[in-house]
Structures are given as C-alpha cells and as structure tokens.
Amino acid sequence: MQLQDILYSQGFGSRRVCAGLVQHGLVEVLGHEPDTPAQQCLDAAAEFEPKGLRFCVQGVKWPYKEKAYVMLHKPAGTECSQKPSTYPSIYTLLPAPLRQRPTKSAVQGVQAVGRLDQDTTGMLLLSDDGQFIHRMSSPKKHVPKVYEVVVKHDLTSDQVGRLLSGVVLDDDPKPVKASACQQIDTRCLHLTLTEGKYHQVKRMLAAVGNRVEELHRSRIGGLSLPADLAPGQWCWLEEADLVALQAGNLSAV
C-alpha cells in the first residue's frame, strides 16, 4: 500500500495533502518493530505493509489501524455531538486524524457509541466501525454498562428493590429495570443497565423518589475505565480490550 494512501486512510487529509506531507519531509516511517529506527521517506508512492506499521507525522507518532477503536474519559461539561448546542463537543478532545478518518458514510471520523449527558462523566467508546457501534449500543445485545451514582437523598431498601424489579418511565409502559444494583453507602450506588434509554439513570432514580446528583460510567461489558486515564484523555483499544468488552456481553453467555 502506498504511503500516501496509508496516511489518507488514517485521517491525515486528502491524498494530495498526504503526498505533500511526505514530499516535504514531514513523515518518518518507524516500521513494524518497536526498536526499528525512524527513517524519513520522501516518496509518497513508496509501498509498505500497513498492518502493524508505525509512523511519525510532524513529530507525532501514530500506529496504523484498519479500524479505529478508542476510549475517552468524558469530562463534565461536554456534549456527545458533532454540533453541540451549549457545551464543547467531546470530539474537540480527539486529535484531528481521528476526526477526519474517511468512512463510507457521509460523516467522517470516529463516532461515539451511544451518548452521555453533558454533566455525566466516564467511559465513552468511539469507533469508525459501524458494526461494532451497532453491536455495543443495540439494546438487543444486552451489553451491561455500570454507572456510579450519587443521589440527593438517603437510599432506602425499597428504592433499591424497585430499581431491580422495574419502574415505569413516562414514555414507555414497559417497566425498565437494572440488571444489578449495589448500594455503596447511604447516597451512592452502582447501577448496571443493559439498555440505553434517554436520561435512563436519572429518570429511574426519579421514578423511585430520589434524584441523581452525580453520574459516572465506569465500565462497559467486561472493560473498566483505567484509573490512569484522566478526564479529557483518550487511548486506543487493543485486541485484549475488545475481547474484554465481549466477555461482558450478556447475550454471548
């Protein structure tokens, strides 16, 4: 695969822009092995095996990824929208190549797997793999998501019981229930859901007579948010992470 096409597939601009980056000496090829010395390449048509290739563009190291799978620690005060209405978009926290990756759809770049409210923090997955996005967000797949919830009033055993047995939300006559609910202290619980209805956690707590004060998503499937990934930071998901996500998929059991 030509180097200009590799760069294009990774979101570094049009093929003409990518060819220009190479011809102006702004691209170094690091090879496939970690200890391979960087080599400047001035030939945009030079052929490389893309799988496992690492390169450096304008001083920034980048691995070739046929499909992009990333995790973002979403901070409060951000919206999961390309066109936010009030708060900054979570997409501004990602580097330009992730936002510009060419896709078959009309929308470029990675897309969020579901959404979190502007004041909700925690684990957010993004990808340019449409099948992965559907598999992780479809309610039919029953992918468990764990939320750490701080509420306004002291929790009661009756409230916890109702969250587990099911509550009726105003737009759906079918009761929704948590697949697990662990009370941590008087005003904190860990709630596990396998659906993704609009404002679901907040509405479920309101339905049992309480109110969400803080909401944080700490796990999706079998994958937890790393302790060292600070709010606003992102990281690549590796093969082991993707396996962990599927390991927590209840429909696969």
**37 has pLDDT over 70:** yes
Measured in whole angstroms, the distance separating CA 233 from the mean position of its chain's CA atoms is 11
185 in active site: no
Enter the pTM of the model: 0.92
Cβ atoms 25, 198 nearer than 8 A: no
Non-local (6+) Cβ contacts of 216 within 8 A are 120, 121, 122, 147, 148, 149
Domains and CATH numbers, the chain: 3-63 (3.10.290.10), 69-140+222-252 (3.30.70.580), 144-220 (3.30.70.1560)
Q: What pLDDT, on the 0 to 100 scale, is given for residue 251?
A: 43
Lowest-confidence region among 104-108, 192-196, 223-227: 104-108
Q: For the chain, give the number of residues.
A: 253
Handedness of CA 147, 234, 67, 17 (dihedral sign): positive
Largest separation between any pair of C-alpha atoms in the chain: 69
**205 has pLDDT over 90:** yes
List the one residue out of 251, 249, 252, 253 whose CA is nearest residue 144. Answer: 249
pLDDT interval class at 176 (50, 70, 90): very high
Which residue(s) pair with 180 in the sheet?
Answer: 192
Catalytic residue among 117, 128, 158, 172: 117
pLDDT interval class at 249 (50, 70, 90): low
